[in-house]
Amino acid sequence: MARSPPAWLIFGGFLGVLGAVLYPIYFRPAGRVEEYRKEQAINRSGIIQEDVQPPGLKVWSDPFGRK
């Protein structure tokens, strides 16, 4: 890459946009696991898994369950 300021501005702008897009999708939820776990528990409180799951498929579980 050339050492000219416009090239660095374009490259830096691309990285800035990429970071701005990835932050709410990946980094914010990864940093606030407990908050999202509580929110999902509230959202799923009235759902009976066996009633909404199609027959023959595994019942879904906590996506935040870590081993």
Q: Which residues contact 29 (CB under 8 A, 6 or more apart)?
A: 36
Tell me if 16 is assigned to some domain: yes
Q: Model pTM?
A: 0.49
Number of domains in the chain: 1
Task: Return per-residue pLDDT of the chain as tens, 67 residues.
Answer: 556 788 889 999 999 999 999 999 988 888 898 998 899 889 888 888 777 777 777 766 777 776 6
Structural domain including 9 reads 5-43
According to the model, what pLDDT value does residue 63 have?
73
Question: Does residue 10 sit within a domain?
Answer: yes
What contacts 13, CB < 8 A, 6 or more positions away? none
37 inside domain? yes
Q: Is residue 66 part of a domain?
A: no
